[in-house]
Structure 1
Amino acid sequence: MKPTGESVGAFIAAVTPERRRRDAETLTSLLQEIAGREPILWGTIIGFGSCHYRYPTGSEGDMPVLAFAPRKSASTIYLDSTDRHSDALAQLGPHTVGKGCLYIKDLEKVDLDVLRGILVRTLAWTEAGGDGYAAITLTG
């Protein structure tokens, strides 16, 4: 995965439906505040900061430190693991999960303080080098 260099603002302005665009604006502000980094477009993913990862298998690549994607059906927020956040997720409000993805259909229906805590812990995990990886090195 690589940054595209395209405008985050233009990308968000084109997001549909309107609710997803509104959520993208809110998530951009929230993740920028937590990460302390400017938003960068990685294809259709809005990322904050960057890191290089290497799995024990030898596979490696680059990814944002924190990221989300405004998809048509839900906002996808990328986490270290949803299992690590099960207690907080139980308090979050309406959502669904995958192994490392949190899907929110309407950000106004979730507890943003709980979401903030989940994102702060995900950032701390990544900045600490992430267990389960051979290495995570911050690059931006």
Structure 2
Amino acid sequence: MASSDNKTRITDQPVAEFLAAVSPDRRREEAQALDQLFREVTGFQPRMWGPSMVGYGQYHYRYATGREGDALATGFSPRKARLSIYIMPGYADFGDILARLGKHSTGVSCLYVNKLADIDLDVLAELIRAGLRDLATHWPVQPT
């Protein structure tokens, strides 16, 4: 089986240190609010994935091609331009939930938000739960 050489791997960097260093102040406050929300919704402790992704839970994937690796189950990255929120693996259609979320854009497994004030955090919590349920139908989710 071919193992992946994912650049984004779990690290030993303390999440609290990472979050404390996020700038500007507004983005740091949003990151800390997201951390609290993800902890409450998932029940998982956060871990850093690479230098800038905060992940909650993890899963091991193995594709039919033989490629396999580990990835975060859900999480976020407080990027300067916008918040990136990861709802993995991106197979499901969450259009009904996204329609109620507020101002956002999407990628394959990523939700982009300019600021938390633009979205409904209760709907985001619903989306995180739905994403984890969907992920668990494809790969077993492990706590972090």
TM-score by length of 1: 0.87
Give yes or no for contact 1:74–1:105 (8 Å, CA) kept in 2.
Answer: yes
Return the letter of the residue paired with 1:70: P
1:56 pairs with one of 53, 64, 80: 64
Q: Residue 137 of structure 1 aligns with which residue?
A: 140
1:16 lines up with 2:23 in the alignment: yes
For residue 17 of structure 2, give the secondary structure of its aligned residue in structure 1: helix
Give the equivalent residue in structure 2 for 1:67: 75
1:82/1:102 contact within 8 Å kept: no
Q: Which residue of 1 aligns with 2:109?
A: 100
Give the match for residue 126 of structure 1: 135
In the alignment of these two chains, the number of paired residues is 134
Partners of 2:136 and 2:42 lie apart in 1 by 10
- Deviant stretches of 4+, over 4 Å: none
The DSSP-based 3-state class of the residue aligned with 1:57 is coil
SS of alignment partner, residue 37 of structure 1: coil
Return the offset for 1:60.
1.3
Offset at residue 83 of structure 1 (A)? 5.8
Equivalence for 1:41: 48
Q: What stretches of structure 2 of length at least 5 have no aligned partner? A: 1-7
State the partner residue of 2:4: none
Asked if the contact 1:83–1:99 (Cα under 8 Å) also holds between the matched residues in 2, the reply is no
Q: TM-score, normalised by structure 2?
A: 0.85
Name the % identity: 39
Does the CA-based 8 Å contact 2:73-2:87 persist in structure 1?
no
Q: Does 1:30 align with 2:37?
A: yes
1:29 Cα deviation from its structure 2 partner: 0.8
What CA RMSD, in Å, does the superposition of the two structures yield over aligned residues? 1.6
